[in-house]
Amino acid sequence: MTAIEDLVPRVAAKARATSRTLPPAVGAEQIAEAEAALGFALPPLLASLYREVANGGYGPDYQLLPLIGPGRTALSEYRSERSSSAEEGTPYWPAGVLPILDWGCAMYAAVDCLSETATVLLFEPNAMTDDGAAAWFVDAGSLTEWLETWLAGTGWYREDADEDGEAAEPTPWELAASRLAE
């Protein structure tokens, strides 16, 4: 059994247990349409989550954004952030980094769809000065790791995470400057 085959059913079970209503999953055709609009492929695990669990509506705290559909979606937020970043004097949103969860206060969890491991990044604009790279942090080395943290209830975002001191804090994303320069 592959990691995806093992992880997706566990995520689905927690999603059903923690969300009142889940939106329907998206089909392979809708994934392909989203990928064409984005200009890059979704990591296999992320595509499986949208295809086999639900079109968002579950996950840590504020829950995953829908990939597509009406209202705010991962696709619409990516387009919006890329457009705003291009208009700024200081670019801040790299190509291929898909926002998947809005933490509030303009912060996002985002997946680097161009990395082999689907690194999960934290975008924290309050840390940005005159360098867009300063707003980017590695939340987890892979989407698998990020989801395992959520399943285990050990993420930094937990309300009581500062009390036990065991939650790993996000670290600066070393590739941010080079990815923004591309």
- Class in CATH terms, 3-181: alpha beta
The two tokens of residue 86 are 């291009």
- Per DSSP bridges, beta strands 136-140 and 120-123 are antiparallel
How high is the pLDDT of residue 166?
Answer: 62
Q: Who has greater pLDDT, 26 or 159?
A: 26
Q: Whole-angstrom distance between the N-terminal and C-terminal Cα of the chain?
A: 37
Percent of the chain's residues with pLDDT above 70: 93
What residues contact 91, with CB distance under 8 A and at least 6 apart? 85, 132, 180
Please report the pLDDT score of residue 2 as a whole number. 61
Q: What is the pLDDT of residue 163?
A: 61
> Per-residue pLDDT tens for 97-154?
999 999 999 999 999 999 999 999 999 998 877 788 999 999 999 999 999 999 998 8
Residues whose CB falls within 8 Å of the CB of residue 41, separated by 6 or more in sequence, listed in order = 35, 47, 113
Lowest mean pLDDT among 1-10, 12-21, 49-58, 75-84: 1-10
Give the closest residue to 173 by CA, choosing from 127, 126, 138. Answer: 138
| Alpha helices, DSSP H, located in the chain | 3-18, 28-38, 44-52, 74-87, 143-152, 161-164, 176-181
- Structure confidence at residue 95 (pLDDT): 96
Beta bridge partners of 171: 138
pTM > 0.75? yes
| Nearest alpha-carbon partner for 117 in 148, 92, 162 | 148
For residue 63, what pLDDT is reported? 92
pLDDT, mean of residues 20-36: 96
User: What are the distances in angstroms from CA 17 to CA 11, 20, 21, 50?
Assistant: 10, 8, 10, 17
Supply the pLDDT for residue 84. 93
* Domain residue limits, the chain: 3-181
The pair of structure tokens assigned to 10 is: 């566990």
